[in-house]
Every structure is written in C-alpha cells, then in structure tokens.
Amino acid sequence: MEKVKIVYWSSTGNTEAMANAVADGVKEAGKEAELLTVDAVDKAALLAEPAFALGCPSMGSEQLEEDEMEPFVADIEGSISGKQIVLFGSYGWGDGEWMRDWAERMEKAGATVIGGEGIIANEEPDADAVKQCKEAGKKLAGL
C-alpha cells in the first residue's frame, strides 16, 4: 500500500492518541500513514485498499458513536469482505463489549480483524496500549 489509512472518531482525544500510535508504527516500518477523521474520509478511496485501521470509542451504551461512525460502518459493511482491518478504541467504565461486538460484526461481514480482536484502552492509552497500536501499524505497513 502506498499510504496506510487510519480512520477514526474521537471526542476527548483518547482514541485519537491511539490513532497517532498506529500511525507511528506505520512510519517506523517505513511507510506513510494517512490519519483521517471519519467525517473526512473518501469511502471509495478507503475501500480501494486491502487493509486499513478503524478507531472509535465506546459510546452510547456499548455502541459505536451514533452520528458519524455508526452510519459509516454500516455504509462500508457490505463492501469489506476480504479486507484486513485493525480496530482500536478507548472506553471508560465498561468491559470492552462494544469492541467485541464490533470485531464480530466485521468478521461476519467477511473481513479479517488483524490480531483477532480490537485493541482497547481504558480512557487515555497507557504504554501497553500504545505499544499494541504501534505493532498493529507495523503489521498494516507490511501488507
């Protein structure tokens, strides 16, 4: 891939910090990263790629953010069969249910979730979460 696309939604910056860590991993692997908030993404350009990263925190009640991310995911869901996707996001008081649901949804749509599950961070990503995001970025860069 020419550029690795990392699409995310973030309100208070925690998922954005994870997106930045994925981008750092891509760059460390010698590739270019393109960070895009979900409102700015070109759907056709994203779906032209074999692999990309999607990030969203747990919102609502263990749901994707409803105004931008949920409609976007619903929109691409029918076109992601065969794609390799890194999922990541931050949460607060839950146990990561939204991410388990999201990963299952993407797998049901025929995509492969890189690493077998989404990367989650409790509020601000700690060193371990940052490391996982960077590793995921490196994997994406190698595809």
Helix axis angle for 14-28 and 127-141, nearest 10°, is: 50
Q: Is 20 in the site for ligand FMN (CB under 6 A)?
A: no
Q: Is 14 in the site for ligand FMN (CB under 6 A)?
A: yes
Closer to ligand FMN at the Cβ: 60 or 110?
A: 60
Cross-strand pairs, 55: 8, 88
Closer to ligand FMN at the Cβ: 10 or 132?
A: 10
Of how many residues is the chain composed?
143
From the list 30, 61, 116, 127, which residue makes contact with ligand FMN (rule: CB under 6 A)?
61
From the list 91, 120, 133, 135, which residue makes contact with ligand FMN (rule: CB under 6 A)?
91
CA 124, 112, 114, 41 dihedral sign is negative
DSSP 2: -
Closer to ligand FMN at the Cβ: 67 or 123?
A: 123
Q: Which residues bind ligand FMN (CB under 6 A)?
A: 10-16, 57-62, 90-94, 123
